[in-house]
Amino acid sequence: MNKNEILDVVFSELKNQILENDNPEQQVLDYKEPNELKEIFKNSFIDGSDDSKLIENIRNYIKYSVKTSAKQFHNQLFAGTNLPSLLGELTSVVMNASNYTYEVSPIGALMETELIDKMAEKIGYEHASGTFLTGGSNGNLVALLCARQKYYDKVKSDGLYNLPKLTIFANEKSHYSFEKAANISGIGIDSVIYIKSDNQGEMIIEDLEFQINESIKRGEKPLFVVATVCTTEYGSFDPIIKINDICKKNDLWFHIDGAWGGSILLSDKHRNLLKGCELSDSFVWDPHKMMNIPLICSAFLTKHKGLLEDTVSTNRADYIFHEHELMEYDLGRFSLQCGRRVDAFKLWLAWDYYGDKGMNDRINKLFDTAKEVTDYIKSNEDLELVVEPRSININFRTLSKLDVDLDKFNLAIREKMRLEGSSLCNYTKINNKLVFRLIINNPEKSFDDYKKFFLNLRTAKSEIEKSLK
């Protein structure tokens, strides 16, 4: 086959898959055990392969992948990609630029700069520096490094040796990336102090004050407080304004982890949930979650101009960052990475396509659908809403007339649906109950798609109940 023929075949496969994602009946997964998958992809690498094997490998990859854009994929904080951003992703992969210098990625550099300004404006920062990076976890790490740099500017050259023991404060329901950040930054996992949360999963402010005072009494130096909006499991919001007051009173860095909920700023109706976010020192926002941009698309922003570059730059990079008048567009200077994908283009394209108005409507639709689904759960006796949703995470479980261990029962239903490929929905423990964590994060799904999910759930449930009788 020549290149043209290979491209025709592969692009047609990809196009079919993209179109199939609109089919409400699409299976989420054709599940195979590892041994079966190894058999399908056997005899790799040794003798090389040919064009037909190349195409077969791609077909098999598509066939046995989880269809994360299927209507019955509800498992993650991402689900489904909108068409403009998907085309943006494909285009930037074909062009394969690295967004570290203007000379190698002029349009990408301009777009990333423009998006950082636009996101800063949505947050309410008057002046901001920022960067696209490899995810919210890395954004949280960069936030911690910036805080360390601001309060201890010698740390970059001298390391932590002469510093007091620094402490970090986060909701007990915050994302696990703060432990990783504490580890990587040398501050240490044990220096992350977890603050109690209420039964909605929101930080209890009195406990924050108490824990900061306790840390000071122990001779430590509190450094960094994070408010999570929204939390990964509950979808809840820490009290931004009260946390900011405590940070200002104690001269602490105030970070907002908006990896999941940052996109709510695009909704005129719901942005109030993040009221006061402009008071923070830094903000992490993942468009690859609630804005349906393909993975990875994630931004870190700080209102402290110059600090980001001070924190992450090195002066051993003049072989790539040459002196010239457009150096402000050499974005690698603001990044921990060297090579950088152009993650900005897909977001730029989607935002341009939908406009502020369209983005507003898309986020509002998620909240409206979440309300419909919540009402549905409340009005069905076989379902139990375990926590009143604050946003678009819906934690519920199903009940049974049989005398069963409900945790095991719900997990068995979830696993049955997963292995059969009918629906994929994650689970977690809330208030000591194993619950389905149903995420309403694709505005291209309708309420009917969620009704189908409950139908699949009830089918799996009745089969399990039958087997127990």
Closest to ligand PLP by CB, 133 vs 212, is 133
Closest to ligand PLP by CB, 101 vs 441, is 441
Residue 12 and residue 62 in contact, taking contact as beta carbons nearer than 8 Å? no
Per CB under 6 A, the list member of 136, 222, 235, 332 interacting with ligand PLP is 136
CB of 288 to ligand PLP, least distance (A): 7
Amino acid, res. 166? L
Closest to ligand PLP by CB, 259 vs 424, is 259
Closest to ligand PLP by CB, 27 vs 426, is 426
**How many residues lie near ligand PLP (CB under 6 A)?**
13
Closest to ligand PLP by CB, 88 vs 136, is 136
Task: Report H helices in 251-312.
Answer: 287-290, 307-312
Binding flag, residue 257, ligand PLP (CB under 6 A):
yes
Task: Report H helices in 185-236.
Answer: 205-217
- What does the per-residue mask of binding to ligand PLP show for 206-245, with x meaning CB under 6 A? ----------------------x---x-------------
**If you count them, how many residues does the chain have?**
469
Per CB under 6 A, the list member of 149, 177, 263, 398 interacting with ligand PLP is 177
In which region does residue 388 sit, left (phi positive, over 0), alpha (psi from -120 to 50) or beta (all else)? Answer: beta
Instruction: Write out the H or E segment, with its range, that includes residue 437.
Output: strand 433-439
**Count of Cβ atoms closer than 10 Å to residue 80 Cβ:** 19
Binding flag, residue 77, ligand PLP (CB under 6 A):
yes
Which range, of 43-51, 129-137, 346-354, 398-406, touches ligand PLP by CB under 6 A? Answer: 129-137
Binding flag, residue 260, ligand PLP (CB under 6 A):
yes
Identify the DSSP state of 387.
S
**Count of Cβ atoms closer than 10 Å to residue 362 Cβ:** 21
Amino acid, res. 259? A
In which region does residue 177 sit, left (phi positive, over 0), alpha (psi from -120 to 50) or beta (all else)? Answer: alpha
Task: Report which of 269, 268, 266, 263 is spatially closest to residue 283, judged by C-alpha positions.
Answer: 263
Q: Report the alpha-carbon distance of residue 435 to residue 433 in Å, rounded.
A: 6
Binding flag, residue 135, ligand PLP (CB under 6 A):
yes
Closest to ligand PLP by CB, 267 vs 298, is 298
Binding flag, residue 298, ligand PLP (CB under 6 A):
yes
Residue numbers of the site for ligand PLP (CB under 6 A)?
Answer: 77, 135-137, 175, 177, 228, 232, 257, 259-260, 286, 298
